[in-house]
Chains A and B, each alone.
Chain A
């Protein structure tokens, strides 16, 4: 009986999302920047003066986030990098403003999940 209750509680916990929900952000380039850029879950690099639009999708371990999950990307140093909302859902436009290193705060449903390192290189 005790074992059954424990199993039930564990199953309910999983259904309620009590497993570690956030895993990473998947990036998909939606524009062709004039200089090479790099976007992955662990690291981003672009150069000063270049804009690029990406679709960013938060991922978690077991099941997808709800469609209307609140999701934002904010640069820690807004002097180096600008991240603007694009037209579509989870579309963002990154613009390198000044050379240096910073990171992007990933917030999902109001929780700060991680800060992805970003390098902004010199203007080409």
Chain B
């Protein structure tokens, strides 16, 4: 039987969680990195909840963003003063609506500037092209190439973008989801980039996930009740396609 303080704490926790969800980012601490001039610390700032690394404790360093991904940054001096962070527009990165977007792989600096437009500190950021994607279920299972789903059941996924070294890339990205046929019911992504996939009949199908100029394919095996929902890469399953690229256009496709 919960006591009154327990109930109050529960309500407070729920309210905080709700606020965090509404703001698009989980309520986790910032991940700071020292500036290269030693005058303060930079922190990654997610733009919205579709950035899967938003608030994750695992992604403190290195500071690597996906080409095409939108992100923000914050800076605090060693004396605790918050300063604006800007990026010089180069052939590698652009600014828009208070966020930044890498448009080509490479390196660029985040600049912390004071009210007199003086650079107080800076930090270089690496941008990489997306080499692969994984699906991540709400219970944190990772599906690089395929998953199983019982007919009539639904699983919710998000997408994580990976660089050529297999490390997760930061940045908010817009993914398009498309079922290969009508065997799957696929919802539109919500604010956090979550998509619900429902198996409608037995057999095999696939999901094509597009991001920028690339499309990746995830196979889906649908069966009766003997299938565990979204079981990851069980023996005997076709594991030949690992987020395979099925359509690659030019590099100029980054918006």
Question: Which residues of A come within 8 Å of B, CB atoms?
Answer: 30-32, 34-35, 48-51, 53, 82, 84-87, 93, 95-99, 123-124
Task: Indicate if the CB atoms of B106 and A93 lie closer than 8 Å.
Answer: no
Question: What are 9 A-B pairs at a CB distance below 8 A?
Answer: A49-B109, A50-B109, A51-B122, A53-B122, A84-B113, A85-B116, A86-B118, A97-B91, A123-B104
On whether A31 and B37 interact (CB within 8 A), knowing A49-B106, A84-B118, A124-B106, the answer reads yes
Q: Which of A49, A53, A84, A85 has the most CB of B within 10 A?
A: A49
Asked whether B39 lies within 8 Å of A123 as measured between CB atoms, the reply is no
Q: Are B114 and A87 in contact (CB under 8 A)?
A: yes
CB atoms of B92 and A123 under 8 A apart: yes
For chain B, which range describes its interface: under 10, 10 to 19, 20 to 34, or 35 or more residues? 20 to 34
| Complex CA distance for A45 and B109, rounded to whole angstroms | 17
Judged by DSSP, the binding face of A is loop
In the complex the two chains form, is A98's CB within 8 Å of B90's CB?
Answer: yes
Q: Are B108 and A49 in contact (CB under 8 A)?
A: yes
Q: Give residues in B with beta carbon < 8 Å to A.
A: 36-37, 39, 88-93, 104, 106-109, 111, 113-114, 116-120, 122, 124
| Bound Cα distance from A25 to B106, whole angstroms | 31
In contact, B107 and A49 (Cβ under 8 angstroms): yes
Q: Which of B106, B109, B118 contacts A85 (CB 8 A)?
A: B118
B38 to chain A: closest residue by CB: A31
Q: How far is the CB of A52 from chain B (nearest CB, A)?
A: 9
Contact yes or no, B118 A97, CB < 8 A: no
Tell me if B119 and A93 are in contact (CB < 8 A): yes
A contact residues around B124 at 8 Å (CB)? 34, 49-51
Q: What chain A residues lie within 8 Å of B117 (beta carbons)?
A: 84-85
A123 neighbours in B (Cβ, 8 Å): 91-92, 104, 106-107
The chain A residue with its CB closest to the CB of B106 is A123
Measured CA separation A30–B236 after assembly (Å): 59
Shortest CB-to-CB span from B110 to chain A, Å, is 9
**What is the CB-to-nearest-CB distance from A63 to chain B, in angstroms, rounded to a whole number?**
29
Supposing A31-B37, A34-B107 touch, asked if A87 and B119 sit within 8 A by C-beta, the answer is: yes
Nearest chain B CB to A84 CB, angstrom units: 5
Task: Give A50 to B91 CA distance when docked, in angstroms.
Answer: 12
Bound CA–CA A93/B124 (angstroms): 13
Residues of A contacting B116 in the complex (Cβ-Cβ under 8 angstroms)? 85
Chain A residues with CB under 8 Å of B111's CB are: 51, 84, 93, 95
Residues of B within 8 Å of A48, CB to CB, are 90-92, 106
